Amino acid sequence: MKRRRFWGLLLAVPVLAGCFSSDPAGSDGGDADVIIDMTADLTYSPAAATARVGETVRWVNRSNVPHTVTADPDLAANAQSTLLPEGAAPFDSGLIDAGGSYAHTFTVPGTYRYFCRPHEGAGMIATIVVSE
């Protein structure tokens, strides 16, 4: 009987340890400092966000249609849809399916205007201000 109890306890420890884990990897935000939702209303929520240099922003697609997070003048149909601070590299998430997400860590302070490539014409445009 003692042997059975020993093996039962040995197998139970990893299971119980998982119940008390603080690892956020399974959450919608993962390890992000700022979360922005992409909605079925073809909006980013919030449409105006703030972050600090070195912080990670995660966009989560909460709709059933693909979206992008694009801050690249070469991919914009309208030059007003995008804005990058001097020295910042353009970025583009590619299509993000329903339930998917994209993360970007900002290294240059300033104002970024980004858009969704499939929904740029519908006005799916937002801003994030990154401070030192």
Could you please state the CATH topology (level 3) that the domain comprising 28-131 is classified under: Immunoglobulin-like (2.60.40)
Question: Residues 60, 89: contact at Cβ < 8 Å?
Answer: no
pLDDT in tens, the chain (132 residues): 555 554 444 444 333 333 333 333 333 456 889 999 999 999 999 999 999 999 999 999 999 999 999 999 999 999 999 999 999 999 999 999 999 999 999 999 999 999 999 999 999 999 999 999
| Domain edges within the chain | 28-131
The token duo for 102 is 């994209």
Q: Give the C-alpha separation, 2 to 10, whole Å.
A: 12
Q: Does the model's pTM come out above 0.85?
A: no
Let me know: does 61 contact 101? Beta carbons within 8 Å: yes
